[in-house]
Amino acid sequence: MPVRAAGTARPARVPGTGTGTGVRRPGPVDQVRVLHRMRALLALRDDGPMPRVALGRVAGHSGTTVSKVVAELLAMGLLREDGAVNVRAAGALGRPQTPLQLVPEAACVLAMAIEPVRLRAALFGLDLRRFADMPARTEVCAVSQLPPAAALRALVELARKVLREAAAHGRAVQAVAVVLPGITDTAMRVGLRVAPLEWRGVDVAATVERALRLPVLVHNNTRAMALAEFRHRRLGADDPLLFVQAHYGLGAALVNSAEPDPYGHYGVAELGHIPLGEDGFHRPAARGVPLVQVTNAAYLCRILGLPEDTADPVAQLERRRAQGEGRAAQLWAQTVRNLGTGLATAVNLLNPHHIVLGGIYTQASDEFLAGLQGEISARAAEKLAHALLLERSVLGADAALEGAALVGFDRVLRQLPGERVAWRAVA
């Protein structure tokens, strides 16, 4: 039996917690309250300001629940009521109602992207928009040539610049969300395998947390971009979207809900290892060439004789093909065939209703998309291919940072009272 020092009081015990710390452990009621708050915040974020009656309808809350949730969020400073504007819900009787709206600067997420040749960062408010007076920052550096510790130091320095600017504007930063081109653990902290950087088991979150003293989560960039595109199109569970992006490699993620699971995961990732039987420019490997090797920017630049850091390889490929260059025409046809093979395989396995092309293929022409559609139709099940909508990304380069912010807010808004993410400003 433990011995208590003389003269010391026994710690207070809270019924039902099983602890003697005096701190109440969050229970099922707290979880429900957090879920109610999250739904209300997401409704206002995605649908804009609205009165309480409309908020209850969109968030699926009763009148009593709406009153309690709104009171909590107003007390937290996350909402405000615009007394200067009154609106009347469609078909409603009685006096017009005062709309509720988010306070964007009350809670922010610092979104960051790690790429082989640069680091990027931007601050997003609670409404998931970048602040107009704080543009995104980019640090160009050869990340792939740095040891992980040095790369993360550069990331931290970039983060500090943005955090100082945020503090000067009086904006509260709740968390840092980092996306990278690789696989992360389910806790969203460790880069398990980041192939373009040759990282294995790098604890990104712990390193950055120690330096910034803010909660940090880490996620796959393609998954985050897929969720951002899905949300931007306002799709639902009946409209699964396959996001495919290529630059340094080739990745894919399937999304069928704007709400991730508790781990923040949104579906499959990495569509880069489908073997192809033919490579038109290099000797075929014994078992085929992986799709990732013949569809990314590095491959296109190498065949076209362009610098590796060329920003628009697909646009240049199409331009040179239009000028009658035979090698460009051959590469264009090969790229359409290879990418179409991979997409057809994904359609047969995953049955998406939308395929969105990001990365370098955001630059692709309508003719390129028509060629892909033809390859998919020739290789995929007829009914699946017929219902498919093939599009280019509408977010472009912003998808990675917006996706990081979206993932970050999903995690922050799910925190229970008393957990380490709290609504507070950065000192």
Give me the percent of the chain exceeding a pLDDT of 70: 81
Using one digit for the tens of pLDDT, what is the confidence trace for 88-133? 554 454 455 789 999 999 889 999 999 999 999 999 999 999 998 9
What are the structure tokens assigned to 385, written together?
């291919």
Tell me the backbone φ, ψ of residue 117, rounded to 5 degrees.
Answer: -120, 5
Q: How far out from the chain centre does Cα 243 lie?
A: 12
Scanning the structure block, which residue is given the tokens 């955090």?
A: 163
pLDDT of residue 26: 57
Q: What is the pLDDT of residues 398-407, one digit of tens each?
A: 899 999 999 8
Residue 260's Cβ-side half-sphere holds a number of Cα atoms within 13 Å equal to: 27
Per residue in 154-176, pLDDT (tens digit) is 999 999 999 999 999 999 899 99
Which is more confident, 417 or 411? 411
Domains of the chain, each with CATH number or no CATH: 28-102 (1.10.10.10), 105-224+401-413 (3.30.420.40), 234-393 (3.30.420.40)
Neighbours of 329 (CB within 10 A): 15
The confidence score (pLDDT) of residue 264 equals 55
Which pLDDT score is estimated for 235?
A: 87
Taking a C-beta distance cutoff of 8 angstroms, is the pair 334, 289 a contact? no
Query: How many Cβ atoms sit within 10 Å of the Cβ of residue 39?
Result: 19
